[in-house]
């Protein structure tokens, strides 16, 4: 069981990195696996302590004091995952109580089952101390990420004039050559970190201009900057990294102490167990406890060595996963007004039921797109059509998979009713060629919508469109109106898709502005959504209601 605890720590270390990068189809399964490993790691360490405590002194092993010390290391968790969700940070008091109980229990076990080899007891002492410090570090990291403590720390750290002065001194012609992208992201994060408190706040205009760098960058650079900045938003909520950075000397000293404790224990155990190792080589005697001890020692060296490697890595590693062309999105965020008047009553976005609006426009966009494909107009529209379709698919993904990130609406009911209608209308099995013909017939029928038409490929399962309250039927109406613009207003396909893209862009920015940063913080554990990137970009450009900029704002950061 001790070795199982060690393996769970290694899995947890790997999971802490992979979960921010994985975007496969099995994301839900992977998240469930990470959650299981996170819970099992603590549970296994606790079970090991309990089982040893219930044992008898006559059943003890010489290396038991070393095993107990490593169990405390395991309870301290790897540096890159201290919490699985944001809510875990609010439970720091429970973890503090667990620290007191587990350390007391481990100390009692070490006294009760101390090794007859006195030197092993001395070797285990520094590892025991290092384990307690690691566990305490985890509790402090959880406490610092709790809502109350996060707000208090931001209030006590309002003065950023020193950072701003450094940037002003090094700026030449709008460029900061001495500050890398990683450094710029860190400085921008200092200004915008109060977003995590979910409260509006004021920012001194001079400090904002000095420490927010997106306006002087290209679209690609701006997205890379925001991607790096989101790492700084992620780390305080889910890792120990900010605690180590805030006390670099102390943290480095403790890391060196822990690493040297394990290395010295490895050397000491090799010397102490020389005769037993010789017996093992000659196969005269078996000492399975030695194998367990060495697996714990080498595992601890691996964990600490990897942490050293990551801490020494000074450059940011950002990976761009957005499906929406960055240059186009960035240019739209920079514009104060849209080119098209979307406030016309006919096309106005219904914010009272935003989810229903997303369903309606997604159906309309899909029908227009399928009509383009069926009519062999795929060469027209170009990039704009790809943008519109990508925005449509992404907003639909949010409505179905992450409804809490969108303004409140009747998501579940809308999804159920719309799916029921579409499931009767759209076949999902059969020959590929027949499916293409069926989809074409489906699109054609929906574009010739009338409220009383019957639908269904199975004659025995025909249903009628509801005349009211159906986003399915409303989407068909919107698609018809869009195609009518081509005939009556002489719009070409590029203009239609420009219009559709503008509608989706307005919906995306509205959703980004309304989404609570609590939901953004939850999304950060899996790398962050495109909506999170957009929300942070809007904060950079001053397009959010959560930030008030001015030179004389009381209490401004």
CB atoms within 10 A of CB 391: 26
More confident residue, 185 or 458: 185
pLDDT in the model for residue 461: 45
Instruction: Name the residue with higher pLDDT: 200 or 232.
Output: 232
Q: What is the largest CA-CA distance in the chain?
A: 95
**The pLDDT value given to residue 412:** 61
Alpha-carbon gap, residue 160 to 209, rounded angstroms: 13
Residue 550 predicted with pLDDT over 50: yes
Q: Percentage of residues in the chain with pLDDT exceeding 70?
A: 69
Helix 288-312 × helix 248-272 angle, to 10°? 150
Q: Which of 255-264, 342-351, 516-525 has the lowest mean pLDDT?
A: 342-351
171 three-state secondary structure: coil
70-74, 239-243, 283-287: least confident range: 283-287
User: What would the two tokens of residue 145 be?
Assistant: 């990420």
Residue 441 exposure: Cα atoms within 13 Å on the Cβ side: 12
The pLDDT score that the predictor gives to residue 411 is 56
Q: Report the mean per-residue pLDDT for the chain.
A: 75
**DSSP string for residues in 495-518:** HHHHHHHHHHHHHHHHHHHHS-HH
Q: Which of 161, 142, 44 is nearest to 92 (CA)?
A: 142
Band the pLDDT of 459: cuts 50, 70, 90. very low
**pLDDT attached to residue 277:** 65
Name the β-bridge partners of 538. Answer: none
Is 154 exposed, middle or buried (CB count within 10 Å of its CB: 0-12, 13-18, 19+)?
middle
The answer, yes or no, to whether residue 394 has pLDDT greater than 90, is yes
Give the range among 159-173, 269-283, 409-423 with minimum mean pLDDT.
Answer: 159-173
- pLDDT category at 462 given cuts 50, 70, 90 is very low
pLDDT over 80 (residue 303): yes
pTM above 0.85, yes or no: no
Residue 460 has pLDDT above 70, yes or no: no
Q: What is the pLDDT of residue 250?
A: 85
Q: Over 60: is that where the pLDDT of 319 sits?
A: no
Higher confidence at residue 451 or residue 18? 18
Among 210-214, 220-224, 360-364, the minimum mean pLDDT is found in: 210-214
Residue predicted with more confidence, 332 or 247: 247
Report the alpha-carbon distance of residue 477 to residue 468 in Å, rounded: 12
472 and 445 Cβ atoms separated by less than 8 Å: no
Task: Give the model's pLDDT for residue 101.
Answer: 92
**CA–CA dist 144, 151 (Å, integer):** 10
Q: Pick the more confident residue, 400 or 289.
A: 400
d(CA 293, CA 280): 15
Residue 533 near residue 230, CB atoms below 8 Å: yes
CB-based contacts of 172: which residues, under 8 Å, 6+ apart? none
* Sequence-ordered list of residues with C-beta below 8 angstroms from that of 282, at least 6 positions apart, any chain: none
* Model confidence at 203: pLDDT above 80: no
Percentages helix, strand, coil for the chain, rounded to the nearest 5?
A: 70, 5, 25
Q: Which of 238, 236, 240 is nearest to 307 (CA)?
A: 240
Q: Which residue has the higher pLDDT, 444 or 323?
A: 444
Across the range 232-261, mean pLDDT stands at 86
Q: pLDDT band for 92, please (50, 70, 90 cuts).
A: very high
Confidence bin at 140 (pLDDT 50/70/90): very high
Q: What's the confidence (pLDDT) of residue 68?
A: 87
């Amino acid at each position: 069981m001790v070795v199982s605890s060690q393996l769970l720590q290694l899995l947890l270390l790997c999971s802490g990195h992979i979960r921010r990068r994985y975007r496969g189809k099995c994301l839900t399964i992977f998240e469930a696996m990470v959650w299981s490993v996170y819970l099992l790691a603590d549970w296994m360490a606790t079970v090991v302590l309990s089982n040893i405590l219930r044992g008898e002194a006559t059943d003890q092993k010489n290396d038991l004091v070393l095993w107990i010390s490593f169990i405390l290391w395991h309870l301290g968790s790897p540096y890159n995952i201290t919490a699985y969700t944001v809510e875990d940070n609010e439970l720091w008091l429970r973890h503090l109580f667990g620290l007191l109980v587990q350390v007391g229990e481990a100390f009692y076990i070490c006294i009760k089952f101390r090794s007859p080899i006195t030197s092993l007891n001395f070797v285990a002492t520094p590892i025991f101390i290092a384990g307690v410090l690691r566990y305490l570090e985890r509790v402090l990291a959880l406490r610092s990420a709790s809502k109350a403590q996060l707000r208090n720390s931001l209030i006590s750290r309002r003065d950023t004039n020193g950072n701003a002065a450094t940037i002003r001194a090094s700026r030449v012609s709008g460029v900061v050559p001495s500050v890398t992208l990683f450094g710029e992201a860190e400085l921008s994060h200092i200004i915008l970190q109060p977003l995590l408190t979910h409260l509006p706040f004021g920012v001194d205009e001079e400090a904002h201009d000095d420490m927010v760098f997106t306006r002087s960058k290209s679209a690609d650079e701006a997205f890379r900057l925001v991607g790096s900045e989101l790492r700084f938003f992620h780390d305080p909520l889910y890792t120990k990294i900010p605690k180590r950075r805030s006390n670099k000397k102390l943290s480095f000293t403790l890391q060196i102490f822990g690493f040297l404790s394990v290395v010295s224990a490895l050397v000491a155990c090799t010397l102490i167990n020389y005769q037993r190792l010789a017996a093992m080589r000659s196969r005269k005697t078996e000492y399975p406890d030695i194998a367990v001890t060495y697996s714990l020692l080498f595992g601890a060296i691996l964990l600490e060595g990897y942490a050293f490697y990551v801490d020494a890595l000074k450059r940011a590693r950002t990976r761009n996963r957005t499906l929406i062309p960055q240059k186009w999105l960035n240019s739209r965020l920079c514009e104060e007004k849209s080119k098209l008047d979307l406030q016309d009553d006919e096309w106005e976005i219904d914010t009272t039921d935003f989810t229903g609006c997303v369903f309606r426009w997604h159906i309309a966009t899909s029908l227009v797109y399928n009509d383009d494909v069926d009519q062999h107009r795929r060469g027209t529209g170009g990039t704009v059509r790809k943008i519109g379709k990508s925005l449509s698919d992404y907003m639909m993904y949010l409505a179905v998979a992450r409804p809490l990130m969108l303004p409140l609406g009747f998501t579940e009911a809308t999804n159920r009713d719309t799916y029921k209608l579409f499931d009767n209308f759209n076949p999902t099995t059969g020959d590929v060629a027949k499916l293409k013909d069926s989809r074409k017939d489906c699109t054609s029928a929906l574009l010739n919508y009338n409220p009383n038409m019957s639908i269904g490929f199975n004659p025995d399962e025909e249903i009628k469109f509801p005349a009211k309250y159906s986003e399915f039927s409303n989407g068909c109406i919107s698609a018809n109106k869009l195609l009518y613009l081509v005939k009556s207003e002489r719009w070409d396909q590029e203009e239609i898709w420009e219009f559709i893209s503008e509608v989706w862009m307005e919906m995306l920015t509205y959703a980004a502005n309304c989404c609570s940063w609590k939901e953004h913080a939850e999304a950060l554990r899996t790398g962050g959504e495109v909506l999170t990137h957009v929300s942070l970009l809007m904060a950079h450009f001053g397009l959010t209601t959560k930030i008030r900029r001015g030179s004389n704002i009381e209490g401004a950061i």
